Structure 1
Amino acid sequence: MITLEFKLKGKAKQYRVIDEMIRTAQFVRNKTLRYWTENQGVKLVDLYKQCAIMAKEFEWAGKLNSMARQASAERAIFAIQRFFANCKAKKPGKKGYPQFKKHTRSVEYKTSGWLLSTDKRCLTFKDGFAAGKFKLIGNRDLHFYAPDEIKRIRVVRRADGYYAQFCINVERKEEPIFTGKAIGIDVG
């Protein structure tokens, strides 16, 4: 699995829509975590069902793609699993009890809710928020990878702008070529 990162170039209105998407993902994560605290022993499937109920209950939460809501629920369950793993391993100090997030900076899409242009230079979000089309700016090239190899896209807000991280499922193999020669480096 490799990750390629590109800066998203769009308009100010589109960036405000991305902020709404991020806040909605934060709400879904916090709401699923609340559901877990009230109903101990729930599994990931139960949190997925809770995401579907949330989409019907809150109209604006239904705008977010279903797989993006599920990815937010996965983040909550991974925090819960990490806490129990730390308890089981008897890690000294704080165990990392899952906390509600106040300042989330990303939203994650799985295999749907987005569309890559044919030249792979533009990214379009197709969920209910309709953020529109963004130009991808970066020094890496997506042309080497098929669209079905892209497993997740994470949109991250940073101080200098918005970025899209593409998680690509490829096997990297680098075999060393032995020449029979040795190099000595003196760093002292």
Structure 2
Amino acid sequence: MELNIARIALSTTRIRVEQERRRARRRYWVAEVLQRRQARGEFFNLVQELRAVDPDRHHAYFRMSRETFDLLLAKIGPSITRQCTNFREPIDPAQRLAVTLRYLASGMEFSALAPCYRLGEKTVRAIVYDTCAAIIAILGPEADSQQPQQADASGEQVGGLCELGRLGANNFTREAERIRDQFARYFMAEGAVPWQDAAVGQ
């Protein structure tokens, strides 16, 4: 009896949620400020200018050269290309890659990066996740083969990233903190690692 009452209550709640969703229509498909992406967005202005006239600043901005950017785009471009619809044009692969690399290079939050490129915050989040997944899927096997060998617990040489071992749910170990700080220093400093260009085929 109680189970039936709970099922009825759950069904009623689902129906109400669906009705509320239908009522809450969007005020607009794309916000007006975001519609001026091609005229005022960072990708169509600053990034294109850096590509054309200032390779050093391009490298500082994305942490890679124009050539490496183009090579990476050639490799993952087909994986991150979206179809054109009747409602809007998709964000092209070059802009998707630029948003992702800027996020990785700067450490900016999605909410801070979105207005720079005149994109929605959820759109930036989806772009970064999709592009990173494509990079891992396509370059992952190549990068693993180029990683230096490291010894595991038994002393055997293995490739890839070193494993941290088991971390408890509430334990923030010194090793994890050290690795986090190492990554933070890398992503916040200028420069590159020796195998970076080799991982994308140069």
- TM-score bucket of the superposed structures, by smaller chain: under 0.3
Structure with greater helix percent = 2
Normalising by structure 2, report the TM-score. Answer: 0.24
Structure with greater strand percent = 1
Normalising by structure 1, report the TM-score. Answer: 0.25
